């Protein structure tokens, strides 16, 4: 019985140690989440203003001729998938990877019809295990990434569309709603929707050297900015999911400790009762 009590006591200590770890991870994730939300919020005005400028120029231009507006028969599709480098984030990676696989299964008959750009070690390992066509990957991003960190993969994805290596580009990420809710999304990034000509009277601008030349520079930057904005949204989703998962783990550890403590007390009470019974029985036998 003493050995059983020692085992229970050791298990209680083990769970208590795990609880301390999960609680610390929950607090760290909560702290990082606030910074990630602030950074995502700070990036939106720039993205919105760039969109306003791009579409203002495009709607004022009589003949829009740019590869990013070009709709062509879809022979090959690109998917840029945003995942995390580490686990312990609840269903964050599972949800978006499942969404991507369902989308691929519905739209494609063979691996020759699509290619994948992936951000995050979890996504890279997932696709490689299944021998899916990953053309470029990016790992080891910080929890507060800068645009320079993802510029190479964003540029590569946009460039492959411009060069007609792919005919569509979709971005796949978890859209942040709150710490409890992250929605997996697969959104078409390219080709962009051609803005309709506005009949409203608007201010007249002059562009140097021309409106088309300005669009030539701004459109790739706009597409890359949309990718970066989705990444920031994904980072906030990852940290929110991690905070929730570690909070649930801490609550489960607390409950487990309570159950083990109750088991320990009952076992100890039973052991004491047995010892008393043996002492009484021994005394009776000598009288």
pLDDT digits (tens, 9 = 90+) for 238-249: 999 999 999 999
Res 33: pLDDT: 92
Whether residue 132 contacts residue 111, with contact meaning beta carbons closer than 8 Å, is answered with yes
Cis bond upstream, residue 147 (ω within 30): no
Name which of 133, 125, 136 is nearest 158 in CA terms: 136
- List where CATH 3.40.1380.10 sits in the chain: 40-195+204-244
For residues 43 and 50, what is the distance between their CA atoms, to the nearest angstrom? 11
Spans of the chain below 50 pLDDT? 198-201
Res 230: pLDDT: 92
For residues 93 and 90, what is the distance between their CA atoms, to the nearest angstrom? 8
Tokens of 218: 């701004």
- List where CATH 1.10.287.80 sits in the chain: 2-26+245-276
SS3 186: strand
Taking only the tens place, the pLDDT of each residue in 91-110 is 999 999 999 999 999 999 99
Res 178: pLDDT: 87
Cis bond upstream, residue 100 (ω within 30): no
Res 64: pLDDT: 63
CATH T-level topology, domain 2-26+245-276: Helix Hairpins (1.10.287)
For residues 71 and 238, what is the distance between their CA atoms, to the nearest angstrom? 34
CATH T-level topology, domain 40-195+204-244: Pyruvate Kinase; Chain: A, domain 1 (3.40.1380)
């Amino acid at each position: 019985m003493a050995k059983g009590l020692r085992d229970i006591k050791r298990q209680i200590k083990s769970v208590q140690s795990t609880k301390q770890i999960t609680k610390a991870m929950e607090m760290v994730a909560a702290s990082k989440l606030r910074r990630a939300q602030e950074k995502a919020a700070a990036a939106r005005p720039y993205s919105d203003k760039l969109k306003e400028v791009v579409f203002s120029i495009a709607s004022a231009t009589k003949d829009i001729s740019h590869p990013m507006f070009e709709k062509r028969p879809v022979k090959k599709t690109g998917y840029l998938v945003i995942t995390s480098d580490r686990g312990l984030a609840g269903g964050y990676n599972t949800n978006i990877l499942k969404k991507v696989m369902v989308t691929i299964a519905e739209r494609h008959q063979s691996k020759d019809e699509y290619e994948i750009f992936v951000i995050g070690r979890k996504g890279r390992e997932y696709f490689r295990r299944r021998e899916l066509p990953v053309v470029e990957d990016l790992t080891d991003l910080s929890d507060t990434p800068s645009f320079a960190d993802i510029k190479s993969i964003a540029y590569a994805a946009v460039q492959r569309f411009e060069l007609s290596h792919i005919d569509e580009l979709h971005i796949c990420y978890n859209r942040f709603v709150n710490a409890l809710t992250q929605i997996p999304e697969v959104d078409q990034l390219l080709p962009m929707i051609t803005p309709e000509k506005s009949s409203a009277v608007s201010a007249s601008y002059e562009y140097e050297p021309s409106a088309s030349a300005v669009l030539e520079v701004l459109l790739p930057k706009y597409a890359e900015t949309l990718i970066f904005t989705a990444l920031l949204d994904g980072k906030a989703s990852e940290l929110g999911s991690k905070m929730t998962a570690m909070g649930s783990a801490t609550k489960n550890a607390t409950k487990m400790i309570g159950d083990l403590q109750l088991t320990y007390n009952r076992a100890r009470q039973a052991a004491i009762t047995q010892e008393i019974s043996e002492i009484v029985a021994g005394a009776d036998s000598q009288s």
